Amino acid sequence: LSIAIDTNLLRHDWYGLKVCDKLTTLAKGLQPAYLRIGGTAADFLTFDNNGSNQKLSHGDEGFFDDPAMEENLDSEMNFTISKTDLDKVHEIASKGGWDVVFDLNVLKRSKNGSWDPTNPLEIMHYVREKGYNFAWQLGNEPNHLSKFGRNMTAPQLGKDFSKLREILHNDPSLGTIIVGPDANALEDQTAKDYLKEFLESGGDVVNAVTWHHYYVNGRTAKIEDFYKATILDGLVAQLKEVSDIVVSTTPPNTKPWIGETSSAYGGGARGLSDRYVAGFMWLDKLGLSARLNEDIVIRQTLFGGRYALLDSDMNPNPDYWLSVLYKRLVGTEVLEVDKGLESGRVLRVYAHCTNHYLSHYSPGAITVMAMNIDPSKEATFCLTEGLQGLKVDQYLLTPSNGEPTSQFVSLNGKVLKLVDDKTLPSLEPKQITSDRISIPPLAMGFFVVPQANATACMDTYVKH
């Protein structure tokens, strides 16, 4: 689980986001992670090494919207960033214990149509000069640049990535990691063809293959979309198809990443993407992605948009607390759940080895993630295969006011909020038994079996 800040935030002078104790505390709650700086605006960005900033004002007007949904973009989207912006990116990441993935402008073109790395190299040289450690992306959603009046073929993009790899090969002090191509809308065959064609020409130069996923359009989404089985199940086919494409076109051990994702595109759905109900899409995506071979899932966004983990006052939205619990309790080793990929599931269950590095649990413990998407009926399940009768630590998440559109979430009945700007609350479980685990209608939770002594979980490790 990793985090994004949209480049559009930099375009608007960060919308007033300040690096402070509160932000640092909240960021540390999600470590370790990557911080991805990218998005539509990345392909309109110029670095001004002399320090002048051509920014838009940071009123509230654009805070919640994705600039890619606007009309008549192109030249009026061009903007500059300065050293101060790169310093701020590094400061946020370093204080949170995160690593940076920075998206470079692929629309910097030379007269012959190839990528011109002159200005991106200034960013890379400054990052090296300061001793920062960034990984790199090149471009954002290149298969849809036509809406900006640009065309980027997959073979050309492959050549551009090869040029970036050559730069890093010749000077490893500029970085070693490249991820891409950040293709989107992979439910469409043309997008899948684009990704495959890119990887056939540039798959050997990327360390990971990135793609984007959103379930619904934020401007038309309805509350029931957030817990509808058919919508949640739609991710399965895309995960399988991306995995197959990556395996067939890249060197062994190259992994796919969901490089940008949330519930609804266009900045999120008003009154939904930042509420309790959004957690069903988020938890299900994390469970499915791990089960189906994704290495990293990058959440759009930390701050900015209706789908952010933090609101405009830097207070945590419900998905923030869900993410913290996931970080603490869920390890990297995925366990098989009977009928865990069956279509139409109302009770959706995933299992991992427990993360014993970030929790007090010992190796051998397992963590079950479960959600009940039935709006009216309780769901129950039991643990088998030698887990019968064992004690279970329950971390049940419910909406604080009983409504799925609640802005606040409760853990085992207690509303979650910061103790103060420097202190996260203690996330205490409730002890139950494994014989009958109940989940109320439209609720979700994590269930840890400390004494599972699962062989597969005796020697696991944690990574980004």
Helices (H) and strands (E) in the chain, counts: 9, 20
The verdict on whether 70 is a catalytic residue reads no
Nearest to 146 by CA among 190, 115, 187: 190
Could you tell me the CA-to-CA distances from 276 to 280, 311, 440 in Å, in that order?
A: 8, 13, 14
455 SS3 class: helix
Burial class (CB in 10 A: 0-12, 13-18, 19+), 394: middle
Q: Please say whether the beta carbons of 372 and 443 come within 8 A.
A: yes
Neighbours of 87 (CB within 10 A): 14
Q: How far apart are CA 149 and CA 460, in angstroms?
A: 48
Instruction: Write down the catalytic residue from 260, 294, 342, 428.
Output: 260
Strand partners, 6: 38
- Output the six-digit token pair for 267: 């900045």
Q: Please say whether the beta carbons of 275 and 228 come within 8 A.
A: no
Beta-strand ranges (E) seen in 82-219 are 98-104, 134-138, 179-183, 208-217
Pairing relationship of beta strands 2-6 and 33-38 according to DSSP bridges: parallel
Could you tell me the CA-to-CA distances from 252 to 198, 207, 255 in Å, in that order?
A: 17, 11, 9
Nearest to 236 by CA among 296, 291, 283, 282: 291
Evaluate the omega torsion of the peptide bond into residue 301 and state whether it is cis, within 30 degrees of 0.
yes
The verdict on whether 76 is a catalytic residue reads no
The total number of residues written for the chain in this structure: 464
Instruction: Write down the catalytic residue from 129, 141, 200, 294.
Output: 141
Could you tell me the CA-to-CA distances from 32 to 98, 136, 328, 461 in Å, in that order?
A: 6, 18, 10, 13
DSSP letter assigned to residue 305: S
Q: Which residues are catalytic?
A: 141, 260
